[in-house]
Structure 1
Amino acid sequence: MQPDWLKSILSGSTADPDLMTRSFPWAARMIGCPHDPIHHAEGDPWTHTMMVAEALERGDGFEALPPERQDLLRLTAWFHDVAKPQTTEIVWEPFLNEDGSPSRSFEDQQRLSAWLSEMEKHQPRQVGWDDAEEEPSHLSLRADGRERVTQHHHAAQGAMMAWRGLIDAGCDAQMARDVFTMTFWHQRPSHMLGNTSNDRKIIQLSVDAGQGNWDDLIRFCEADQRGRMSQNRDQVLEDLALARLLVAEAGENIGADLLNNPWPFANPESRLKYLRGKGGDLPFHASEHAAGSRVIMMSGLPGSGKDTFLEQNFARWPIVSMDKIREEMGVSPTDNQGKVHQETYNQIKALLRTGEAFAVNSTSLTRVMRQKLSGTILDYDGYIEAYSIDVPFSVARQRNSSRENPVPDDVLVKLANKREPILSNEAHELYSVDEHMNLTKMFGHEPDVDVTWSPAPS
């Protein structure tokens, strides 16, 4: 059952602000969190979030959007700043770089230390607004200059929080992926002007946006500006209008509507090589299809259902299982996993050399975890067919507890807090698998590929 806050957002109109304040899991820490007085004179991140949600509903053309795109933008509005509390730094303005980030230069750090020492003679240090153990303390610097609040990387961290939070709330995996993308990208359009590497960004977002598109992202960014009190709001809105023209022009140059549609890659191999920087700077190139092994790459928490899925669909395939290797080597989940990883890759490479189709059964929850695996497969010209078991944490936890050798709960919690979605530059195809083992294709099978999904090896 979906929680009240998710039902309210997806109700088809503006979410109830009182209900959201009471039930949205991230609201309490956003309320009272410092916000930069120059760019957010309206108040804390929660005040800003509610203003953005209202501005979005009032935006030109919003009511005419399909319901799924309205829902995507509404969810993005409520999630786009959830990571600001954990990324907050308060600095004295002279110690800011030109881009607004805190200065880390040796000279400035010396000046800061000397200034702090002098200040402490007259007043005690004031620790930050949030005393929660899992968050860093932030020092409030008071002087004749202005205090400034920076919250760098809140978009990337907020995207991860949105992905995990929505999956755990029982949200549709496609929607959760799309909210992840919109949240991750929401600061980028206003900084596109004068950038010489826009083409790759335009293409990447057009592919990863799923049900959304560039028009939706810019529409949200405009609401993000209208839902604040800022000295440069009008200038940023003008920059966003120019960004819209830039994306439209990039599409017109190839006869495509990139504001509303993804880049028309010739096939999955072309997409993967271009987005991984392996296909040069020309996205028009039609790459040859992978000639090596077809590899099933699983991703999911312990207990999520990876073993069951493989047994139901790929039982006749060779399966490289980290759990099985760990068991054979007598290594527990809390021990050093170096030898387990080494043996896993020995078996993977042996199969890749034969060109035989096989499956890899491991958690592969983060991009870092998957990089070595996907890189190894692609080095052997393999075809990556990824299956992400996207079930709520509560489901994985219950299933794990009923296993003969369950993963310790503290380990499971740490793994759950590392989950990241598989993106379009990590696999040729991606399917999401829900708790009932139903499949939903996320991406893959571009127009010139005639591949029928089959659980049987070719």
Structure 2
Amino acid sequence: MRMFDELCPEPPGWALDWDRVRDAFGWVRDLAGVPQDAVFHGEGDVETHTRMACEALAAMPEWRSRPRGERTRLFAAVLMHDVAKPHCTALDDGGRITARGHSRRGDLMARRILWELGAPVEWREHVAALIRHHQVPFWALERPDLQRIAFRVSLLARNSDLVLLASADILGRVCPDSAELLDNVALYGEYCAEEGCLDGPRAFPSDHARFWYFRKPGRDPGYAAYDDTRLTATVLSGLPGVGKDHWIAAHRPDVPVVSLDRLRAELGVSPAGDQRAVAAAAHEQARGHLRAGRSFVWNATNVSRSQREACAGLIAGYRGRVEVVALEAPPEVVRDRNRGRPSPVPDAVVDRLVRRWETPDPTEAHRVRWLTTV
């Protein structure tokens, strides 16, 4: 990513030019003046904390020893880790400043920002995953779902990167428990090393074993689950205008399709209207294919994880193999294609979908493919 490459501290001085960073990104300037709890962030507002975290990262020998591309990617993650705080900061009932939900919302915001900047999909999703999980190492050993989270991070990014991000986050603040938090982060790194997921993706016996590990809490990750699938359901995911119909015609021409666009037309439902009847009809069509043991394509936007989970859960219940194909295109291509459709989706609806967009990841299906259409 050229913009981040140009701003990332470089040897021999490793200096951070914060004025250039502020000039480059409006979302950095938006951090100015956003308050934080003085107990945990005695340094001041979110912009001050972000600058200090970036400076802390640049001072780390572990970061400096990384290849240049990895340094840039981590710099981007630290720079964006609190990007959602301006939208999440509020006072709780006791008058304390909080920013609940900023990690998850930061994931969504970072994805949109990096998509608009033209970041490669894998690079973007690596950064977004780090942002979403950047607080996990602080209290990781208290979480009952720690193993699943650590494995998920390893499949999307690298836990060693998450350790560096979390460390920079702590070192870039003034708080009374920084030593304890840094110890917790180090323990998280040791835990990931013991679980075989610190510097690379956690290995599973098969894609079927991985799929069911993430569906059943407490399942042994080493269990080689017997693959009893009897059909393959291809679940598409993508914004309006990415070319889902074209992909089906080219790659699944003879496979039945559950099409939400077609169902909307049949039911007379606008894309901006209540979609519950459309979703119910789609699920009923899907059940027909599943009962018959027939492979099919599920053609819908499915931009959120919860939407895809509704599909995957139904498919898995009928011993189906879940394949997710995530299609995307540059913003200008998406909007031009959508406006050229016979029945374009309103821009406001597209914008709402972009704000909710969660790219599919390997924990959701037997197979996930990220494809860019141009």
1:378 to 285, 308, 316: 316
**Does the residue aligned with 2:219 lie in a helix, a strand or coil?**
coil
The one-letter code matched in structure 2 to 1:35 is Q
8 A contact 1:169–1:392 mirrored in 2: no
**Does the residue aligned with 2:323 lie in a helix, a strand or coil?**
strand
2:275 to 337, 344, 350: 337
8 A contact 1:320–1:359 mirrored in 2: yes
**Does the residue aligned with 2:301 lie in a helix, a strand or coil?**
coil
Q: How does 1:111-122 map to 2 (within 5 A)?
A: none
Q: How does 1:236-255 map to 2 (within 5 A)?
A: 236-248=181-193, 250-251=194-195
Deviation by residue 1:167-204 (Cα, 9 ceiling, x = unmatched): 22211111111111111111111212354543333323
What RMSD over aligned residues (CA atoms) do the two structures have, in Å?
A: 2.2
Runs of 5+ consecutive residues of structure 1 not aligned to the other structure: 96-140, 142-147, 252-256, 437-458
1:225 to 145, 151, 170: 170
- Aligned equivalent of 1:149: 97
**1: CA distance, partners of 2:311 / 2:279:** 11
- Aligned equivalent of 1:275: 214
Identity %: 30
8 A contact 1:222–1:240 mirrored in 2: yes
Deviation by residue 1:409-434 (Cα, 9 ceiling, x = unmatched): 22221122111121322111111111
Bigger shift: 325-334 or 76-85? 325-334
Structure with the largest fraction of helix: 2
Shift of 1:319: 1.5
Identify if the C-alpha distance between structure 1 residues 301 and 198 changes in structure 2 by more than 3 Å, giving closer, same or farther. closer
Pair member with larger Rg: 1
The one-letter code matched in structure 2 to 1:233 is S
Shift of 1:223: 1.2
**2: CA distance, partners of 1:322 / 1:196:** 38
8 A contact 1:300–1:388 mirrored in 2: yes
8 A contact 2:209–2:223 mirrored in 1: yes
- Aligned equivalent of 1:205: 153
Aligned: 1:407 with 2:345? yes
Shift of 1:273: 0.8
- Aligned equivalent of 1:69: 70
8 A contact 1:268–1:428 mirrored in 2: yes
**1: CA distance, partners of 2:214 / 2:238:** 24
**2: CA distance, partners of 1:200 / 1:401:** 41
- TM-score under structure 2 length normalisation: 0.92
8 A contact 1:84–1:154 mirrored in 2: yes
**Does the residue aligned with 1:193 lie in a helix, a strand or coil?**
helix
Aligned: 1:303 with 2:266? no
Q: How does 1:99-114 map to 2 (within 5 A)?
A: none
8 A contact 1:393–1:416 mirrored in 2: no
Shift of 1:9: 4.7
The one-letter code matched in structure 1 to 2:372 is D
8 A contact 2:160–2:198 mirrored in 1: yes
Identify if the C-alpha distance between structure 1 residues 56 and 351 changes in structure 2 by more than 3 Å, giving closer, same or farther. same
- TM-score under structure 1 length normalisation: 0.76
**Does the residue aligned with 1:30 lie in a helix, a strand or coil?**
coil
- Aligned equivalent of 1:49: 50
Runs of 5+ consecutive residues of structure 2 not aligned to the other structure: none
